[in-house]
Structure 1
Amino acid sequence: MAAEPLTTTGGRTTARRLLLVLAALLTALLAGAAPASAHAALLRTDPGEGSVVPSAPSRVLLTFSEGVLLSSDSVRVLDPSGKEVQQGAAQHADGATDTATVPLRTGLGNGTYTVAWKAVSADTHPVAGAWTFSIGAPSKTSAALPRQDVGGGAAGVLYGIGRYVAYGGFALLVGCCAFLAVCWPRGARLRVMRRLAVGGWAAMAVSTLALLLLRGPYVNGTGLGGVFDLGAVRSVVDTKPGTALLCRLLLLAAAAVFLSVLFGAAFTRGAWAGRRNLAVGLAVGGTAIAAGLAATWSLAEHASVGIQPGVAMPLDMLHLLSMAVWLGGLAALLTALYRTAGIEREAVRRFSRIAFGCVCVLAATGGYQAWRQVGSWHALLTTSYGQLLVAKVALVAVVLAAAYVSRRWTGRLAEQDVPQEEPEPVPAAGPAETTSTNPARAAQLARQRAALATARARRRRDADPARTGLRRSVLAEAAVAVIVLAVSTVLSGTEPGRAVEEAAAAGAAPGAVPVSGGPVFAAIPYDTGGANGKGTASVHIDPARTGSNELHLILTDPAGNPVDVPEVDLSFTLRSRGIGPLPVKLSHAGTGAWTAESVQLPMAGQWQLSLTVRTSDIDEVTETKNVAIG
């Protein structure tokens, strides 16, 4: 069934509305996303987390699941009063990149010490956490666990947006140039197509510069005030991700030269044959620049760490290039369909064949990446990375469905190419208005002729129902592709499922050790079965985080009055890690009240609180309740 012709005004209105909806979706997805998950998990500490050692250690040692990059303040150790007691800067132990250690001052007294750490995992994502240990015996401490907002806050949101813009600019730059060079050389003469490619270059250049400035605050959690800190920028350049961003800027300078040559030559299909050497040079140079830009991601992020990096990095580059040629070419085709007088059927068919090849490459390389990063069906369904991957695959399936519709419309396009007609005649100028005596009038007549020619070409374009249907299906493809790109950006900043499960198997929490928690209140009804055996136990745990916590327990009768009992016991068990039961030493603090000043909970998770209440020699009951720590 033929579709109704879509006018230019209606098409632009539809596109604007769709753009607003997509902007809202992307803002929710990128700005609402959590900070990048920890990609290097803390596996072991020495002294152990929550442990009590008989004498002061000479150093603290942290061991991670993968290599990390350290700064001078990566590890800080605070005594019970909050004073720093480490000596010198954090370093790798014995050259092992998956460790961090710092020496301690001599003569440390007894009490509970806090270790706050931060680092950058090998795939460029920042991680942070804190834990405690005690010398001699646990004690009260005024050393507040610092809130290290690495990878989060305003800097984290802006950094995520910058990464998305960089991916989008890369797709536009590479895809549009490939589309114009291979599928539609005539389009290189059109200003709107040149603007699209240059816009992709500009977006990538601006976002890369922004990422370079934001990298320091993003990693260190120092806030936006550190954006223009030249010392921080210099430190960033010395790291692997900073070097990758700097190389990207240099490659973009080469890309600017490539664009000037491509658009300066204004190739048509006939011109390629006459300038074969230049055409070959552009093809080789453009491919090299595109591959280099892709490498700035592949050599610095997920593909560079984990298993089989030698295979993963080139396949990841191929994945990125295929994505850019497909999605960027799709944007170029959409622009040609909506903003130009028309595009030849053969150009659309040529892009359709190239897009099909790109999809095949994406499926093959994406399947390998999924196996490498997820590792198991369990991780695919239970980890954030796996769930995002499933969402991405579903969205790609929607894009492919729209692409199938586009291929059908392409097959129905009218046989003739876009007409190249002479402009309609306009009324002749009077004797006083000849071009020789009135240049302004001549320019006005030229503009009128051009406008008439453009309007007639667009009417002929819109008279073909197949072209109208193709525009709509390509618009749907591009709309979903924008969301796919956003999900891919979030996915690249999420901890791989394989890493989550490996960290869990090694006994670590999935991600960084929590920096802080929040007070937990639990009401536990009990009934021992004897006289005056009913009541409620109110438990307050503060701050409910890994390390030292205060616990307050109050028993009340059914009327709400405090009541004493002969015996009350309390313990914690973390069944998911096989830890416990850890008994809590309670001190009687008054009628119906008990306290424990230092409850050591070594790991975050859902702990089972077991409460035993005895109201007589024979009446006793044990109740349990799950509480979240960390």
Structure 2
Amino acid sequence: MLRKNRKIYLIFVFVVFCALLLFPPTKQASAHAYIVASSPAADEVLDKAPSSLFIQFNEAVEPAFFSLSVLGPAGERADLGDAAIDPGHPDKLVAGLKPDLPEGAYTVKWKVVSSDGHPVTGTLLFQIGASGGSPDVQPGSSVEPAAAPGADLLLVRWLWYAGMTLFSGVLILHLILLPRSSRSGDSGLPSRSKWAILLGLALTVAAVLGSLPQQTADNAGTTWAQAWNGELLRETLQHTGFGTVWKAQVLLLLLLAAATAVILKRPGANQAEPGFGKIHRYAAAAALAVGQGLFLSKAFIGHAAAAEVKSLAIAADYVHLSASALWLGGLLAVIFLLPAAAGTDPETGGRPKAYWEAIRRFSLLAAGSVTLLLISGIYGALVHIPSFDALFHTGYGIVLLCKIALFLCMLGLGVSGFIHGRRRSRPLGRGAWTEFILGLVVLALAALLANLPTAPSSGPEPGRMEAEVQGYRITLDVSPNTVGKNLFSLGVVNQDGTPAANIEQVTLSLTSNEMDMGVIEVILPGGGGKPEAEGLITMGGEWNVHVHILLESLDSLDHDFTLEVGNSS
């Protein structure tokens, strides 16, 4: 039965891997940074040419790897090439324009790096003079679709997770899980534990060092070979949040290497406490603390860095990473390292008491880790998944579902192992190895999630507002409810449920609740049916929509709606 279940789990793992390779998540617009205001506004028609322009984002952007170019009606450059981040407003990209620009349609192409380290690009259109030609791109402002993360990025992330998990597992085994009586010996750590801790450290070092050129290449839009450029690397290190965190990670790695050297030091013949003695335990505790610092640093350069409540999101991300490493690292330790570390019972030749005590302690550790994973995971889902529908219709949501499914499989196997461990009826074996293999897949999915645009990136759903006004039921639909052209549809229903046919004209007056953008009026024709007309919304954010309905009796219906406008995708 066990063998049959093991085959089923392995087949499931294989199918998930194939699905990720053959059917990568669909591209979607990046939600990391988006336009909330601009001057000129998207699709604005100007009487005369402005001397400068700005684009304001929903969050501060990195003061590095940004660009902005303005192309005129014939494709010529219309900006002065002086694009910069406003020193007083780190969320605003500004640039000067050439004097005496001719009439016509202008395309603004921009690129910034958002606060979570992901580059975002897009376009914005405006027109000088009413007779200008049409540009070659769709009206409004847009954010270009974010490509699925490349294999190099996923590899770097996976190496980081795998290395820290393995390193943490060795420390947990010899510092927490094994009874002190079994930690003695004349040669320090067992050979298998020594190789495991060195491999974990090597993988982590390779991931941290490799993340610098990888992030530089991603920000600059170049290849890895081109990223090995002193100026580009310097810009990453000095002017991005990633660079600050990377330097902290290198310092932590040096401390980790020093602590590891002490842990691996062979005890002297005259040492008071041979084997894994007091100095080794102090070094292991220090290494474990430094490792927690690395997990915390990782949370500062992920999706949590762009969350609305940043401190809470970073804390939850750190807890999730740390709990994952404790659970999976401890699991690896007990199935791969524990048999050699605990040895055998000299009397029976079977597993000694130290083995079963370590299993018991790991069960408690795993239970605590799973609890923290559930709490932090639910919080993260609430932050990054805005609706139940987004869980099934966005790339981020689909990958998260796969991760949850594997997590539940691991949990089922863990409960089974816990029961057998308490009964001391069977050493950990195939079920534990299957659980560990699933854990490796979960790490791969975690690396993918860390670099996919979160679910809100697809923008808000089309707006619908409803109200009862003087005995009439008014329904206003705004689609697609984004910056640019929108279709405004009004439904007016009598008390008996029939559509009102006595509408002379409808006037919609839109005013921004966030800044003075003037009044946008949209006129809907009267008569029967459902009045509708196209109108232009010039920026994202919160708008007040005043509905004025003139009836054939010359009576009027008035109501104010609040509309939350997203950005084009």
Question: With structure 2 as the length reference, what TM-score do the two structures score?
Answer: 0.69
Query: Separation in 1 of the partners of 2:214 and 2:481?
Result: 26
Amino acid at match of 2:226: G
Structure (1/2) with the larger helix percentage = 1
Question: 1:119–1:483: structure 2 CA closer, same or farther, 3 Å change rule?
Answer: same
CA contact (8 A) 2:396 2:455 kept: yes
Query: Separation in 2 of the partners of 1:199 and 1:371?
Result: 36
> Within 5 Å, which residues of 2 pair with 1:307-318?
307-318=308-319
Matched, 1:581 2:539: no
Aligned to 1:452: none
Aligned to 1:183: 177
Question: 1:478–1:231: structure 2 CA closer, same or farther, 3 Å change rule?
Answer: same
Amino acid at match of 1:313: I
Amino acid at match of 2:429: R
CA drift at 1:121: 0.9
Aligned to 2:80: 87
Matched, 1:472 2:430: yes
Query: Separation in 1 of the partners of 2:175 and 2:458?
Result: 44
Q: SS at the partner of 1:209?
A: helix
CA drift at 1:207: 1.6
Aligned to 2:298: 297
Q: Percent identity?
A: 26
Q: SS at the partner of 1:114?
A: strand
CA contact (8 A) 1:170 1:200 kept: yes
Amino acid at match of 2:196: L
> Within 5 Å, which residues of 2 pair with 1:558-569?
none
Aligned to 2:472: none
Aligned to 2:468: none
Question: 1:36–1:360: structure 2 CA closer, same or farther, 3 Å change rule?
Answer: farther
Query: Separation in 2 of the partners of 1:301 and 1:360?
Result: 22
Q: 1:399-441 CA deviation, whole Å, 9 max, x = no partner? A: 1001011112323436xxxxxxxxxxxxxxxxxxxxxxxxxxx
Q: SS at the partner of 1:66?
A: coil
Question: 1:72–1:291: structure 2 CA closer, same or farther, 3 Å change rule?
Answer: closer
Aligned to 2:38: 45
Aligned to 1:281: 282
CA drift at 1:377: 3.9
Aligned to 1:116: 109
Question: 1:23–1:499: structure 2 CA closer, same or farther, 3 Å change rule?
Answer: closer
Give me the CA root mean square deviation. 4.3
Aligned to 2:525: none
Question: 1:509–1:236: structure 2 CA closer, same or farther, 3 Å change rule?
Answer: farther
> Within 5 Å, which residues of 2 pair with 1:356-371?
356-371=367-382
Question: 1:224–1:199: structure 2 CA closer, same or farther, 3 Å change rule?
Answer: same
CA drift at 1:34: 5.2
Query: Separation in 1 of the partners of 2:253 and 2:152?
Result: 22
Q: SS at the partner of 2:106?
A: strand
CA contact (8 A) 1:46 1:62 kept: yes
CA contact (8 A) 1:41 1:511 kept: no
Question: 1:403–1:499: structure 2 CA closer, same or farther, 3 Å change rule?
Answer: same
Aligned to 1:587: none
Query: Separation in 2 of the partners of 1:504 and 1:143?
Result: 22
Aligned to 1:494: 452
Larger of the two Rg values belongs to structure: 1
Aligned to 2:514: none
CA contact (8 A) 1:43 1:65 kept: yes
Q: SS at the partner of 1:52?
A: strand
Moved more, 307-316 or 245-254: 307-316
Question: 1:29–1:242: structure 2 CA closer, same or farther, 3 Å change rule?
Answer: farther
CA contact (8 A) 1:48 1:133 kept: yes
Paired residues in the alignment total 456
Query: Separation in 2 of the partners of 1:266 and 1:134?
Result: 77
Query: Separation in 2 of the partners of 1:363 and 1:265?
Result: 40
Matched, 1:405 2:441: no
Q: 1:550-604 CA deviation, whole Å, 9 max, x = no partner? A: xxxxxxxxxxxxxxxxxxxxxxxxxxxx99537xxxxxxxxxxxxxxxxx9999x
Amino acid at match of 1:181: L
Question: 1:223–1:280: structure 2 CA closer, same or farther, 3 Å change rule?
Answer: closer
CA contact (8 A) 1:53 1:134 kept: yes
Query: Separation in 1 of the partners of 2:262 and 2:51?
Result: 63
Q: 1:490-534 CA deviation, whole Å, 9 max, x = no partner? A: 222233345655698799989999xxxxxxxxxxxxxxxxxxxxx
Q: SS at the partner of 1:115?
A: strand
Q: SS at the partner of 1:68?
A: coil
Q: SS at the partner of 2:372?
A: helix
CA drift at 1:473: 0.8
Amino acid at match of 1:303: A
CA drift at 1:143: 10
Q: SS at the partner of 1:77?
A: strand
Counterpart selection for 1:68 from 61, 67, 75: 61
Matched, 1:346 2:357: yes
Counterpart selection for 1:28 from 17, 21, 25: 21
Question: 1:477–1:167: structure 2 CA closer, same or farther, 3 Å change rule?
Answer: same
Q: SS at the partner of 2:439?
A: helix
CA drift at 1:221: 1.7
Amino acid at match of 2:264: F
CA drift at 1:276: 7.2
CA contact (8 A) 1:82 1:143 kept: no
Q: SS at the partner of 2:289?
A: helix
Query: Separation in 2 of the partners of 1:255 and 1:332?
Result: 19
Query: Separation in 2 of the partners of 1:36 and 1:163?
Result: 22
Query: Separation in 1 of the partners of 2:46 and 2:98?
Result: 16
Aligned to 1:168: 162
Amino acid at match of 2:88: G
Moved more, 293-302 or 25-34: 25-34
Question: 1:375–1:72: structure 2 CA closer, same or farther, 3 Å change rule?
Answer: closer
Aligned to 1:211: 211
> Within 5 Å, which residues of 2 pair with 1:366-405?
366-405=377-416
Q: SS at the partner of 2:56?
A: strand
Counterpart selection for 2:95 from 102, 124, 127: 102
Question: 1:22–1:384: structure 2 CA closer, same or farther, 3 Å change rule?
Answer: closer
Query: Separation in 1 of the partners of 2:48 and 2:231?
Result: 39
Q: SS at the partner of 1:488?
A: helix
Aligned to 2:510: none
Q: SS at the partner of 1:189?
A: coil
CA drift at 1:257: 1.5
Question: With structure 1 as the length reference, what TM-score do the two structures score?
Answer: 0.63
Aligned to 2:440: 482
Q: SS at the partner of 1:203?
A: helix
Question: 1:376–1:148: structure 2 CA closer, same or farther, 3 Å change rule?
Answer: closer
Question: 1:498–1:141: structure 2 CA closer, same or farther, 3 Å change rule?
Answer: closer
CA contact (8 A) 1:237 1:243 kept: yes
Mark the runs of 5 or more structure 1 residues left unpaired by the alignment.
5-10, 415-465, 514-577, 583-599, 604-628
Moved more, 352-361 or 405-414: 405-414
Amino acid at match of 1:305: A
Query: Separation in 2 of the partners of 1:510 and 1:384?
Result: 22
CA contact (8 A) 1:68 1:121 kept: yes
CA drift at 1:20: 10
Query: Separation in 2 of the partners of 1:262 and 1:82?
Result: 64
> Within 5 Å, which residues of 2 pair with 1:210-249?
210-238=210-238, 239-249=240-250
Amino acid at match of 1:111: G
CA contact (8 A) 1:217 1:227 kept: yes
